[in-house]
Amino acid sequence: MSTYCVTGGAGFIGSHLCERLLRLGHRVVCVDNFNDAYDYKIKIKNILNSKGMESTFQSFNKETDLLHLQQAVDGDGYRLVAADIRHADELDGTFAGERIDAVIHLAAMAGVRPSIADPLLYEDVNVRGTLHVLEAMRKHGVRKWLCASSSSVYGNNAQVPFSERDIVDRSISPYAATKKACEVLGHTYYHLHAIDTMMLRFFTVYGERQRPDLAIHKFVRMLDRGEELTVFGDGSSRRDYTYVGDIIDGIVGALHYVEGHENVYEIVNLGTNRTISLLELVRGVEQALGKTARIRRLPNQPGDVARTYADISKAKRLFGYDPRTDFADGLNKFVTWYRGNTNGQALDRRADL
């Protein structure tokens, strides 16, 4: 049994990863600050789901809820730490109290458009926060880590599919720039402190527990309510949508690779090597819900890229990455989850958790 620290472990991808690691028999230290990017009670439910718990308790306020949550979930190989990666002392205390074998660093401020509105916050969390994680690892002798990067680092790359060999020095959003900065910092700590590193460039992850601000969740919610869908541009933009179960397979495979090798610094794409247009996404949501959308068209938004398209041959070669979920099947899984999850809404303050 290994002990893994998962930062951002209460979020969409993080909670699925914690669930998988627990199922594999490992110990998990979940670090999350439950920030206000969306309702913290969604993350509470993610954690309960990841531990297979149906137990409920009354919601009162954030501080009390998190205390009750820790009391409910700690144990059986799981520890919840409500901490902010920007606070070095909180990370230091966490690492000092555990013998951590590897870190999977998922915590970040996410999203292209919000990063344009508040670039200093994104720099503070994504760059400085990542430095605090790396410093805690250096100080406490943790020499294996994975870090979440993003397909956004490719910008409007003309060459497709996107390869890890491509030059990614032309970011078009602060979010993308912070993720590129994390890749560079990862290499710095690999070079100076022999921290074996795998940077994972995620391509548009979707599936159960997806954040409420992401396109598929928003489209399903709005269409289900009979609301008009907002489409930016002419609908021809394309994304490499990757089902969360396939992403978790990729993370676990990358983790095993880093643990089994020395002197590692690698960047790998985790996508599907397939693309879906925005209008195809809308049609897929219509089919999954059995409803017809009303569409409102608006101009393209600053920071949005025309397409993402992953070359996944390197991940296949290094650790056998093989995404198998068809987009329509993954979309149906999300809709099934949405319908069973209080219609995908944030939990009411008086609701049972």
Phi and psi angles of residue 48, each rounded to the nearest 5 degrees, phi first: -60, -45
Query: Residue 201 in contact with residue 267, Cβ under 8 Å?
Result: yes
Instruction: Answer yes or no: are the C-beta atoms of 312 and 321 closer than 8 Å.
Output: yes
How big is the CA angle at 31 (ends 339 and 64), to the nearest 5 degrees?
70
DSSP3 helix / strand / coil % (the chain, rounded to 5): 45, 20, 35
Cα gap 351→353, rounded to integer Å = 6
Measured distance CA(130)–CA(314) in Å, rounded: 25
Question: Is the distance from CB of 164 to CB of 313 less than 8 angstroms?
Answer: no
Q: Please, which residues have CB within 8 angstroms of residue 202's CB and are 6 or more apart in sequence?
A: 13, 148, 149, 150, 151, 242, 247, 270, 271
CB 315 within 8 A of CB 266: no
CA distances to 25, 234, 343 from 347, in Å: 30, 35, 10
CA–CA distance, 60 with 4 (Å, rounded to integer) = 31
Query: Which residues are tagged catalytic?
Result: 175
Could you tell me the CA-to-CA distances from 323 to 14, 117, 249, 313, 330 in Å, in that order?
Answer: 18, 34, 8, 11, 11
Of 4, 147, 138, 148, the closest CA to residue 77 belongs to 4
Strands laid side by side in the 78-82 sheet: 78-82, 27-32, 3-7, 102-105, 144-150, 196-202, 265-270
